[in-house]
Structure 1
Amino acid sequence: MPIATNGTHIGSPVKTQTPVQEDDDDSRRELERPVDVKEDMRQMGQRQRVTMILNSSEFRDELDAIITDALKHGPHPASLISLQQISELLLPHTSRWTTVSSLSRAGGSVIVPINDIRGVDSTTYSKSERLLRCKLASLYRLIDLFGWSQGIYNHITARVNQEQEHFLINPFGMMYHEVTGSSLVKVDVAGNIVDPGSTTYGINRAGYTLHSAIHKARPDIKCIVHLHTPAVAAVSAMKCGLLPLSQDALFCGKISYHDYRGISIEDDVKKLLVEDLGPINKVMILRNHGFVACGETIEEAWKYAFNVINACEVQVRAAPIGLDQLYLPSSEQQKRIADVLQGNINEASDDKKWKIGELEYECLMRILDNAGFRTGYVYRQPLIRTIDKSATFKDVEVPPAASSATSFVDAGQTQTEP
């Protein structure tokens, strides 16, 4: 009979091992334990690990170092930053940067609230300024979440009041996702700091030059957004400028252009900026640089910035086929389409008048609030319809007319009777 190399006979039946019976009492109890009890025990194990971390001397030392370092830097949103650092020690790390498609799930491991005006600060500012600070800080967060910010550079300014010519701007040294309502710096038209906010940072005076020149010459403008995303910078370098290829481009209306002259704060540069923008236009392309979007409200400036960036994205994607292959609507068509777009923006189906960008901005604020940003935004339109409980309702508001199933037959018989 053939013999295998391991010494067993080929063809002989193979002996299978029978499973060992679980006679251990602990194993049997584990198998018979209910699912909810197992889940409770699993959570107890997780809490034990958290307790071990909190009782760790290394963790306490690192926490003390964070708090001590925060206290040394004086008045600062230190509590929020310390909270962020502490949570990053305990929570799983996730990316802070999000794309437009994931805006509804915005945020990283911790979210710094936008409306952080509390205590003494709440009495320092008027109600209108508190709301303006929160709304402007929310715009900084939106631009960061859409991926349009570039570190600590680029700026958005908002006019606080018309009488004193005071403006709000981000502190130079903070990222866009760090900007809060209390951290914004209040300056006058010359760039002198009126209120430093809750941080120790100043402002970018060279960057503020563009804003101050426009604010001074155009009192109708309340907010200015200055950005230079890659797509906009690419279009700004094209001799053709921004073409009317899409509805986003047509919405912007007539666009101004300003030739690049470097970063300068000279008076002649300010004069050229104002002349190039003109008395009516609200969008200006800065050659080889970026763009400026202006608005009578923060919402309007946001809307123009949103459309400019989208229009430039379309043009950059369409440019490789050749500009001579692109279809451009006529001047009459452009004006007619722009008028329709501008008109439809201001009215909703509920007949409530909305200014440009307000309806979209309110939707975005709702997304941020649902994500935990605490914007402090005051909504004009409640999301859920409510019923006035003070009014009395009857079972039948308008009583139906008396009728029966045979009313038509009865009427016919009545007419035929002599």
Structure 2
Amino acid sequence: MRERVGGAEWEARCQLAALYRLIAYYRMTDLIDTHLTLRVPGEPDHFLINRYGVPFERMRASTLVKIDHEGRVVDALEPGAKVNVAGFVIHSAIHAARPDLDCVIHTHTAAGMAIAAQVEGLLPITQHALKFYGHLAYHQYEGIALDIAERARLVRDLGSHNAMILRNHGLLAGGADVACAFMEIYFLERACQAQVQALAGGRPLNLPSEEVCRHTAEQFQDEGEQEIAQLAWQAALELINDQREDYCS
């Protein structure tokens, strides 16, 4: 695979493989389900996704599958490589409608599903949650995402946001690159975990004022956040540095 793709695509493959492994490192996996995608540099109609059935902990650059927005396999190391149909439906919708989101992450964590099942959704009770105050979308559950027609509704509900809670399902986050998408899903996941634990405490919750909520959300939208995302991504990569030769193969 490395010999038949360009340098930019190979680097993208290495980054996405590393992202899969970091999602596993932070225990945001669901057996072989859920999916992470990355647009192929210079190929706006193609994106990379995992070969269905490969554990995230074992993801490699060469085993990622290149598909188009219609779900057709464009390039794969293994003949007949399959991808998750629901993954194609969800991710193709976002990639086609949002050229600003090169990387899209979808998870089914216990905390994410718990918040997705609560009527109130994500509450503004932690600093992590306030990152998404006024910047979080919601999409109603329609069953397993196998219907192509759902793509229009996913895009409509996401709007201009970079993060969305899929009701009764899980979490979705995107970013201009792998680093930004990773930061989005990490903060959203941590906010959900904190809310579950806070509610389990059985005590009244302290909610910041509307003014403080909006102010904090604006602070998170500062341009410096992109630099922080890059620093956080490099720090996270250090945690799996001993695996680089394997995931970048």
Q: Report the TM-score when normalising by structure 1.
A: 0.56
Aligned to 2:55: 175
Distance across 2 between alignment mates of 1:163 and 1:372: 28
Answer 1 or 2: which has greater strand percent: 2
Aligned to 1:137: 17
Q: 1:232 to 1:274 in 2, by over 3 A?
A: same
Q: Is the 8 A contact 2:123 2:129 kept in 1?
A: yes
Distance across 2 between alignment mates of 1:228 and 1:175: 15
Structure 1 position 341, deviation (Å):
3.4
Letter in 1 for 2:131: F
1:360 to 232, 239, 245: 232
Q: 1:342 to 1:201 in 2, by over 3 A?
A: same
Structure with bigger gyration radius:
1
Q: Give the match's secondary structure for 2:2.
A: helix
Letter in 1 for 2:156: E
Distance across 2 between alignment mates of 1:239 and 1:332: 23
Q: 1:216 to 1:356 in 2, by over 3 A?
A: farther
Structure 1 position 373, deviation (Å):
3.5
Structure 1 position 244, deviation (Å):
1.2
Distance across 2 between alignment mates of 1:206 and 1:238: 23
Distance across 1 between alignment mates of 2:172 and 2:39: 16
Structure 1 position 345, deviation (Å):
4.3
Aligned to 1:281: 161
Q: Is the 8 A contact 2:102 2:177 kept in 1?
A: yes
Matched, 1:332 2:204: no
Structure 1 position 201, deviation (Å):
2.7
Q: 1:129 to 1:287 in 2, by over 3 A?
A: same
Distance across 2 between alignment mates of 1:258 and 1:372: 36
Distance across 1 between alignment mates of 2:79 and 2:177: 26
Matched, 1:146 2:34: no
Deviations 1:247-283 (A, max 9, x none): 11112341100111101433431111111101x2011
Letter in 1 for 2:147: E
Matched, 1:238 2:118: yes
2:245 to 374, 389, 392: 374
Q: Is the 8 A contact 2:61 2:247 kept in 1?
A: no
Distance across 2 between alignment mates of 1:330 and 1:375: 48
Q: How many pairs are equivalent?
A: 247
Extract unaligned runs of 5+ from structure 1.
1-120, 347-353, 378-418
1:213 to 73, 86, 93: 93
Structure 1 position 223, deviation (Å):
0.6
Aligned to 1:341: 220
Relative contact order, higher structure (CA 8 A, sep 6+): 2
The Cα RMSD (Å) is 2.0
- 1:19-418 to structure 2, matched below 5 A, reads 121-161=1-41, 163-198=43-78, 201-253=81-133, 254-278=135-159, 280-322=160-202, 325-343=204-222, 345-346=224-225, 355=227, 357-369=229-241, 371-374=242-245
Instruction: Give structure 1 regions of 4+ aligned residues with deviation exceeding 2 angstroms.
Output: 161-164, 197-201, 264-268, 320-323, 338-346, 371-377
Greater mean deviation of Cα atoms: 220-229 or 260-269: 260-269
Q: Identity over aligned residues, as a percent?
A: 37
Q: Is the 8 A contact 1:183 1:199 kept in 2?
A: no
Q: Is the 8 A contact 1:368 1:375 kept in 2?
A: no
Structure 1 position 372, deviation (Å):
4.0
Q: 1:142 to 1:199 in 2, by over 3 A?
A: farther
Deviations 1:5-64 (A, max 9, x none): xxxxxxxxxxxxxxxxxxxxxxxxxxxxxxxxxxxxxxxxxxxxxxxxxxxxxxxxxxxx
